[in-house]
Amino acid sequence: MTDHDQMAHETMTHDMSNMDHDMSEMDHGDMMNHGGHMMHMGNLKQKFWVSLVLTLPILLMTSFMGMTQPLISFPYSEWVVAVIGTILFFYGGKPFFSGAKGEIQARQPAMMLLIAMGITVAYIYSIYAVIANNVFHVDPMIMDFFWELATLIDIMLLGHWVEMNAVMGASSALDDLAKLLPSAAHKVSATGEITEVAIKDLQEGDLVLVKAGEKIPADGILTSGTSMVNEAMVTGESRLVAKAVDDSVFGGAVNSEGTFQMTVTGTGETGFLAQVTKLVQSAQQDKSAQENLADKVSGWLFYAALTVGILAFIIWFINSGLTTALPITVTVLVIACPHALGLAVPLVVARSTSIAAKNGLLIRNRNALEQVKDLKYALMDKTGTLTMGNFKVNAYDSLTDDVSKEEVLTLLASLEAGSSHPLAVGIMDAAKDKALTYDQAQDVKQITGVGLEGQVAQKTYQVVSMSYLLKLGLTFDQKKFEALAANGNSISFLLTEDQVIGYVAQGDEIKPEAKNLIDALLAQGITPVMLTGDNRQTAEKVAKTLGITEVQAQLLPEDKEKLVRQYQTKGKVLMIGDGVNDAPSLARADIGIAIGSGTDVAIESADVVLVKSNPNDVVEFLELARKTTRKMTENLWWGAGYNILALPLAAGVLAPIGFLLSPMLGAVLMSLSTIIVAINAMTLRLKNNA
């Protein structure tokens, strides 16, 4: 959370509802992204196995690998092969024809068009060979390419199947998020009858009973009973939160104590976990800069292959005739298929997204992964990011003779009674310890970037920051403030009618993981900068403890956004905040990271959401991003480099020394490059995590 004087006292209103409609409902075997186009692939697993079965008789009845005679031969066996090859061509090749059609319609020729061209040329030439050999009885006999056609289709289908399995692996992490919710809920009818229903059957407005020890089935508002709720699985904060009538609860949190009834307020697609699903899906589908480059390279390769193929055909036709020219042309088209190049980025991103989700890193914008290598500054909020956000009142007092010290704390507790902010909790805990009685203030409203105000006994009071006092020119005890702030306290002031009547000083505890975050940033050449709305003395004490040398204190939300702009003139900027008043800064930064998943704006404005609210997760993200970018680059070089080297070989530049690359070998080598790219992507790891 950001500092109390910097943010409005906001309540989290996420709809943590059921995820029964999760990613398992998607038929990943049916859709695939290539060249920026979604291509209908059909059931890849079924197509592959059927095509493989059809390939077996072709292997037995044709000559291959230098064999002079097929293993099985009988009258009209070549016609049988032609029939089976035709079935395989249209059945197994259909996905590639569909993809090629989409690329032509989009005027973006790429890998699917090249594959379609390759198998079409091989098929037409093979049919021509069968007719020429068996109808016109040409001499010498023309070698057909049904074996090459069949194996090319099989291996390409296998490559796509491998890809789809990898992409589906990225979705499996969402199942872990869905497990935050129980499978059933205790629904209470209008007559008071309790029945157990599936989570997916809950609707907004339903009354639900939640017993001690159970997970809360959906977002809701308590209508009866009290509870102590552990929201760690939702917000990352492990402390128990007291809940009473009219308080909000989140689906996925654990009811540690007490039994209560609640009215459901969030179901279906309005739920937080449903939003998380959409984030991961969109992260997999959004195209990164490197993926766009891969598509451009594929387009260039299409024209290069077409040019090389035509030139090779003309040259070899002139010098050696059709029977030599056509196989070489087929080989060029087979080799040129940029299958590995097209899989280079999507497979890595799918793997990276899966690892991220399993480690509590929800990547909303995967372009953020590619920005890490150029990062210069890491701007970060203090409270909740570097500190625990568990405040304890260290001092409070009255600054006027009209109000006693205890009355100041009572008024503060009344104003903060409706808030779940850490500073508010600290004040209420102090009032409870002092056995002070108070009623919740009326007409409480938030003052953005300042604090709040409300009415107690028909008199208006405000809880504000020191920067607000300075802005209005109000006087206060500067020496006392400096003494308290020097000890690391966050100080809030109580006002009425523009008069400062009291203050409260609260101390926070630095997160154990914060020091590791700062050390890791410095080790990577990234300068950490603390941005906070808190007073400078408190901010500098925390900064000194952690090793931060640049501190910007007493800031309003718009000040943070301006500072992000300023630092961006010097280099790439990472912003870490809570996603509420930090939203403008998170959106403006090159990479925006929201600490804690408990606010709507964290999802809306940040590129990355850290579910566990652990600063070390930022280090994990930086490590994963760098490894992901490295894998992308490796795959792009392998895919493009392979084609650049293979094209001239396929065209026959080494024919004068006796080396001529056959279509069969071309298909095998091309498919091997695809498998290597897939394996390279799957070797991406985050430390010891899969």
Of the candidates 5, 219, 381, 582, the residue annotated as catalytic is: 381
Are the beta carbons of 348 and 681 closer than 8 angstroms? yes
List, as own/partner pairs, every contact residues 526-529 make where C-beta atoms lie below 8 angstroms and the sequence separation is at least 24, other chains included: 526/375, 526/376, 526/377, 526/378, 526/574, 527/376, 527/377, 527/378, 528/377, 528/378, 528/380, 529/377, 529/378, 529/379, 529/380, 529/563, 529/567
Are the beta carbons of 607 and 363 closer than 8 angstroms? yes
User: Any bridge partners for residue 254, and if so which?
Assistant: 215, 230
The C-alpha atoms of residue 471 and residue 493 are separated, in whole angstroms, by: 14
For 416, phi and psi rounded to 5 degrees? -90, -5
What tokens does 560 get?
């943070």
Rg (CA), the chain: 33
Q: Which helix (H) or strand (E) holds 593?
A: strand 591-595
The C-alpha atoms of residue 385 and residue 518 are separated, in whole angstroms, by: 11
What tokens does 686 get?
């985050």
Are the beta carbons of 599 and 234 closer than 8 angstroms? no
The C-alpha atoms of residue 671 and residue 335 are separated, in whole angstroms, by: 9
Place of tokens 């990943």: 28
**What is the CB-side half-sphere exposure of residue 586 using CA atoms within 13 A?**
25
For 595, phi and psi rounded to 5 degrees? -80, 115
CA-closest candidate to residue 393, choices 260, 491, 465, 325: 491
Residues 6+ apart with CB under 8 A from 75: none
The C-alpha atoms of residue 516 and residue 682 are separated, in whole angstroms, by: 29
49: exposed, middle or buried (Cβ count in 10 Å: 0-12, 13-18, 19+): middle
Sign of the CA dihedral running 345, 350, 352, 356: positive
The C-alpha atoms of residue 484 and residue 490 are separated, in whole angstroms, by: 8
The C-alpha atoms of residue 654 and residue 617 are separated, in whole angstroms, by: 53
Residues 6+ apart with CB under 8 A from 29: 41, 42, 43, 44, 45, 164
Is 381 known to be catalytic? yes
Amino acid making up residue 482: E
Alpha-carbon distances of 483 from 121, 183, 427, 479, rounded to whole Å: 84, 54, 20, 6
> Hey, how many other C-beta atoms are within 10 angstroms of the C-beta on 152?
28
| Helix (H/G/I), strand (E/B), else coil: 287 | coil
> Hey, how many other C-beta atoms are within 10 angstroms of the C-beta on 677?
29
Q: How far apart are the first and last CA of the chain?
A: 30
Q: How many residues are there in the chain?
A: 690
What tokens does 397 get?
């007092």
The C-alpha atoms of residue 335 and residue 593 are separated, in whole angstroms, by: 43
For residue 558, how far is the Cα from the chain centroid? 27
Please list the active-site residues. 381
